[in-house]
Amino acid sequence: MFTLVPANFFKPEAARDALADVAVLNRDDEVKYKEIPAYSAVLIYSVSGGADALPEIFYILQELPSCNEYNKLLCSWKDGEIFLAIAQGKSLLIANSYKAADFTTAQYYIFLAMKSLQLNPEVTTIRFRHPLSAENEMALYRYFKAVECL
């Protein structure tokens, strides 16, 4: 679970409340935060069971500014969840994750996010942080200008 808060509105003492406003937290969930300077935001996330791993969206947001095009779309599909971030220039438009047990469902959420932002896939390069199967890569080539795996 995670949320992004503009850096000027972030208060460390209110991090748990900010995350609880958008997600259900367990009592033993530890709430942490990490600055995302490229987008003047703070990522607030939860960890449970003593885990100390950053959420996948953190790595996406770290790599997103290095995408060369004006429309930036970076995804990661793993463990039954699609993580995606979309930016135009230096403006972050969306950073979210969705449950997606199969790649068709992952594609649905990608296209839904793009449609909500009125972005045209035909002029957009989609990037994934992890390799895709040849079949999934070809499925995306039907809609996007290019498909890249980092």
Query: Which pLDDT belongs to residue 49?
Result: 66
From CA 142, how far away is CA 124, in angstroms rounded? 12
User: In angstroms, how far apart are the furthest CA atoms of the chain?
Assistant: 47
pTM over 0.85: yes
What's the pLDDT tens digit per position in 78-113?
A: 999 999 999 999 999 999 999 999 999 999 999 999
- Do β-strands 41-47 and 30-36 pair in parallel, antiparallel, or remain unpaired? antiparallel
Structure tokens belonging to residue 14: 């209110």
**Mean pLDDT for each 10-residue chunk of the chain (150 residues)?**
96 97 91 96 88 89 94 95 96 97 97 96 95 95 94
